[in-house]
Chains A and B, each alone.
Chain A
Amino acid sequence: MKLGELEKLVLNYFWEVDTADAKEVYAQFKKQRGGTLNTIQSTLDRLFKKGLLKREKESYAFRYMASKKRKQFIGELVKDVTKDFTHENEDSLFTAFASLSDEFNDTHIKKLEKLINDYKLNKSKEEL
C-alpha cells in the first residue's frame, strides 16, 4: 500500500474533520491544488478500498470518515511493520521471548539499576 500525495492530504484532512462528502473535500482542496471533483471522488474511493476511510450513503452521495484516528493508525502500522517476518511456528518460541519481557519487573529493574550504580561508584573511585 502506497499513499499518493493527494491521498495523504485527504487522509490528513479526515483526521481533522469528523466527516465530509466529496464536494466538501473538493471545496477544501480546490484553492490549494486545483483539480476536479472527479479526481477527489476517485481519491476518496481509493482510500476507502485501502481501508483508510469508511463511508455511509447519505441520499445520493457518500459521506466519508477516517476509519481510525491518526495516532491509532500510525501506532498499529508500526506494530504491523514489525510482524511481517514472523515465523509460522514462532508462537510457542515467541512465548519464551515474550516471557523474558514479562519477567522484566521491578526486581529486575532494581537489579540492573544496582549494576549501573556499582559501575558509577567504581568509576568515581578510580578517578579519585
Chain B
Amino acid sequence: MITGIGAYIINMITIMALGIFLSVIVVSLYFKFNAKNQKSYAAKTYQNILWSMVSLPWIMGIVAAILLAFFDNELNSWQNIIPGIHWHHIDEFYYKSWHGILGVLVVGFVIFAFVKSAVNLFKNIQKINVLKSLSHLESDNTYLLDTDNPMAFVGGYIKPKVFITTGMKEQLNSEQLEIVLLHEYEHVRCKDSLKKLIFRLLSSVYLGKTSIKLQSAMNLSIEQCADNAVTSKISDISKIAETLLKVKSLLNQTSDKKYDTTALCHYGFDEIEHRIRYLLLPEPQKTFPIFLISIISLVLAFSCTYFAASAHHFIEYTLS
C-alpha cells in the first residue's frame, strides 16, 4: 500500500482516466454527428474546433482529478454540496485493487504511446537528415531531391524545411512551382508538422476510427489554410486550383498511393476536391461555437467528476 502524496498522484491518474473515458465518448458522439459540418466553417475556425475536441478529454480528466482530489476533504467536501461526489481514502493506494489495475493500464498506455511516438519521431528526424544530406540546397529553406517521384513536402519539426523533388520541379511551370513553394513555406511558417504531431498525440486517446477521422479533418484544415495563404501572393485563385489539380494528377500517376499524411505536410494529397471548392467558393462564415463548447465543457466537467466518483462507488460496492 502507498500512502501520502504518491497515493494522491496515482488516485488522481485513475480519476483522470475515468474523466478522459467519459469525455472521449461524448466528444466522439459530437464529432460523429457534426463531422459533415466542416464545410460550414472557415478552415482556421474548424482547426480551432478540432483543437478543442482533442484537448477537451485531457482538460476534463485533469479538472475531474483536481476537483475530487483537492476539494474532497472534511473541511471542503463536495459531499455537502452534491451527495456522492467524493473519493474514499484518496491518500491511500492499494496495488491489489481495481485502482491498481486501472492505474497500471493507464500509466502503461501513456508510457507505451510516448515511447512509440518518441521512437518514430527519432527515426523520422534521422531519415529527414539523410534526405537533407543527399539533396541540393536550392535556397535558405528549400532542398531539391533527385528522384522521379513528384513530391513536395515539409519535413522536420522545430526547424522545418521544404523538400521538392526533381520529378515535381520538371513537370511544373515556374508559376505552378511558385504556388507549390508558397504553400509549403506557409506550412514552415506555421510549424504545421509540429502541430500535426501534437494533434496526433492528443488524439491518441480516441478509438482508432475517430482518431484517424479527427486527424484527416485536421490535415484538410491545415492544407486549406496553407492554400488560403497563397491567395495573398497569387491573386488569380484559379491558377492555385489548377496547380492543385495538376499535382494531384501527377501523384495519381505514381504507382504507390499509400502515403501517410500525418508526419508531413505535403502538396496535393488531402482531399483535393474539398480544397479546390474551398478556394473557389466564398469562404464559409460560421463562427467558432464558443457558447456550445463552453456549455459542453461545463457539463462535461461536472459529469466527469460525478462519473469518476460514481464509478468508484459502484465498483467498490460491487467488489465489497
Residues of A within 8 A of B (CB): 1-3, 8, 11, 70-75, 77-87, 89-90, 93-94, 97-98, 100-102, 104, 108-109, 112-113, 115-116, 119-120, 123
Contacts and interface: CB of A to CB of B under 8 A. Distances in A.
Interface residues of B, number: 55
Contact of B257 (A102, A115, A120): A102
B251 to A, nearest CB: 8
Interface string B126-137: 111111011100
Interface in B141-187: 145-149, 151, 153, 155, 163, 165
Nearest to A84: B124
B134 A81 contact: no
Contacts of B211: 87
B212 interface: yes
Given A85-B197, A119-B241, A120-B238, 19 more contacts: A8-B133, A8-B134, A71-B146, A74-B131, A74-B147, A78-B145, A78-B147, A81-B131, A82-B260, A84-B260, A85-B200, A87-B212, A93-B208, A93-B212, A97-B216, A101-B257, A112-B241, A112-B276, A116-B280
Contact of B264 (A74, A81, A90, A120): A81
Q: Which 4 A-B pairs have the closest CB atoms?
A: A75-B147, A85-B263, A74-B147, A84-B124
A125 to B, nearest CB: 14
B252 interface: yes
Nearest to B215: A87
Nearest to B166: A71
Question: Which of the listed residues A81, A87, A123 has the most CB atoms from chain B within 10 Å of its own CB?
Answer: A81
Contacts of B273: 108, 112
B155 A81 contact: yes
Interface in B219-239: 237-238
Contacts of B120: 84-85
B134 A78 contact: no
Interface stretch (B30-38, B79-87, B242-250): B242-250
A48 to B, nearest CB: 16
